[in-house]
């Protein structure tokens, strides 16, 4: 094997590894008010996959966890709207986090 053949093979291998990063999926989360009392959030990824079991916490502006949760088998979580100001944190791991402020939650 010549050095040139080896380097060409190495370059091909590196390009193949880099292309898999291009196929990475981004986290997505949407929350909607079902009525004046209940909010439902749905999480998933940009490749269309769901996110069952992923942490979805409702957190107060003082950083206390108001509603600890995980998405169900259908990638949703429904919770009672807190009385305090809050945001929703979808956390599927480093680089896969989405925050939704209460002001951005659609009314029914």
Q: Identify the CATH assignment for 25-104 out of 3.30.1490.20, 2.60.40.1940, 3.10.20.590, 3.40.50.620.
A: 2.60.40.1940
Give the predicted TM-score (pTM) of the model.
Answer: 0.77
What is the structure's pLDDT at 107?
A: 84
- Residue pLDDT, tens place only, 47-70: 999 999 999 999 999 999 999 999
**E strands in the chain:** 27-33, 38-45, 55-60, 65-67, 76-80, 86-91, 97-101
Enumerate the domain spans of the chain: 25-104
Per-residue pLDDT of the chain (108 residues; tens, 9 = 90+): 554 444 444 444 444 444 444 456 899 999 999 999 999 999 999 999 999 999 999 999 999 999 999 999 999 999 999 999 999 999 999 999 999 999 999 888
């Amino acid at each position: 094997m010549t050095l040139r053949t080896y380097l060409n093979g190495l370059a091909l291998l590196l390009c193949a590894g880099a292309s898999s990063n291009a196929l990475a999926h981004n986290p997505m989360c949407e929350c909607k008010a079902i009525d004046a009392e209940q909010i439902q959030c749905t999480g998933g990824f940009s490749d269309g996959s769901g996110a069952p079991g992923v942490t979805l916490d409702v957190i107060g502006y003082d950083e206390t966890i108001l509603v600890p949760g995980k998405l169900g088998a259908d990638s949703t979580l429904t919770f009672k709207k807190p009385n305090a100001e809050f945001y929703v944190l979808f956390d599927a791991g480093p680089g896969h986090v989405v925050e939704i402020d209460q002001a951005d939650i659609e009314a029914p």
